[in-house]
Amino acid sequence: MVFIAKKLKKGTEKKRAIMKKATAYEKARATAHKGRHIGGAGKEDYRRGNVKGEVKNRKTPVTKPELKKMITEKGIKEVESKAGFTKPAEEYRNTYQPKVKLFQKGKLIPKKKPKKKK
């Protein structure tokens, strides 16, 4: 029994360390965007006046459905992602949500005008 408890405790400590690192990254990005860190489940990660921002600290890029959900349900206007965004996500922003700003590792991803069909 003692062995199992120790094993569970180590796993919990690892999760806690990962969460601490993620929260620290969110706070750092909030400061870089001159915003106040909010965080918490279902809430935006930072706010600057009326602008709500979301920070994604992971190895996989943000997909179109994720971006769409953030924008429509949470009212997010800025999204920061370490891994970047998929092409469909960028195209969605360019076409339907041009006011939303996308950042990758602190750099603004420029808006591209959608190609006109002949």
State which residues form the domain around 97. Answer: 2-108
31 contacts: CB under 8 Å, gap ≥ 6: 37
Does 8 map to a domain?
yes
Instruction: With respect to residue 51, please indicate whether it lies within any of the assigned structural domains.
Output: yes
CATH number where 26 lies: 3.40.1350
Residue 50 has pLDDT above 70, yes or no: yes
Q: How high does pLDDT run on average in the chain? A: 87
Query: Would you say residue 60 lies in a domain?
Result: yes
Contact status, residue 48 vs residue 72, Cβ threshold 8 Å: no
- Between 79 and 116, the higher pLDDT residue: 79
The answer on pLDDT for 42 being more than 90 is no
Q: Are 100 and 90 in contact (CB under 8 A)?
A: no
Give the chain's domain count: 1
**115 falls within a domain:** no
In a domain, 114, yes or no: no
Q: Judge whether 103 lies within some domain.
A: yes
37 part of a folded domain: yes
Residue that wins the pLDDT comparison between 109 and 4: 109
117 belongs to a structural domain = no
| Per-residue pLDDT at 2 | 47
